[in-house]
Amino acid sequence: MHELSIASEIFKIVQSHAPHGRVLAVGIRLGAWSCVQEESLRNSFRWVTDQTDYAQTRLEVERIEEIWICETCQQSFDQSKGISDGVPNCPWCGQRLGLLDGLQEMRVEWIEVQEDWETRGD
């Protein structure tokens, strides 16, 4: 349900950068724990852009994996294990990793526009 709110915010960002439409695609990054269901987000985005100049804009989603940061040596580490496997040890210093980063991230990374269409920066 909250995907509708997120889709609305994505739409506002796209409009602010390309106010005259003709945006081919918008690329977003979602953290592993951003609590966003991708299909629901796509449906919501289609719904909020329906019957606008952005109705054909594609939503391209990149998922960010879990990134752990060791509290002892401050090295970062991507891990592929599920969270239920527990907190892993740092591959660099062997201590138990303590911090998580990037998990909640939700960003619009880029938009793809037609070259001849006026755009505006942030």
Partner 1 sequence: MEPRILQVRTKILKANDTLARQMREDFMSQGIFVSNWVSSPGSGKTLWLELTLRRMIERGHRVAAIVGDLETDRDARRLERSGARVRQIMTHGLCHLEAEMIHREWKDWELGSIDYLFIENVGNLVCPTSWDLGESLRVGLLSVTEGEDKPLKYPGLFNTCDVVLLTKMDLAVACEFQQDAAIENLQTVRPGVEVLKSSGKTLGGLEAWIDWLEERSGRKKR
Q: Which residues bind partner 1 (CB under 8 A)?
A: 1-2, 5-6, 9-10, 12-13, 17-18, 24, 28, 33-35, 71, 83-84, 86-87, 97-100, 103-104, 106-116, 119, 122
Nearest approach, Cβ of 116 to partner 1 (angstroms)?
5
The candidate with the shortest Cα–Cα distance to 51, out of 9, 18, 11, 3, is: 11
Smallest distance from the beta carbon of 54 to partner 1, in angstroms?
14
Q: Between residues 47 and 110, which has the closer beta carbon with respect to partner 1?
A: 110
Q: Supply φ then ψ for residue 69, to 5 degrees.
A: -125, 125
- Rounded least distance, CB 21 to partner 1, Å: 14
Nearer to partner 1, 52 or 95 (CB): 95
Question: Angle 40-28-18 (CA atoms, 0-180°, nearest 5)?
Answer: 105
- Contacts of residue 41, defined as CB under 8 A and 6 or more positions apart, other chains included, come to 3, 6, 7, 59, 61
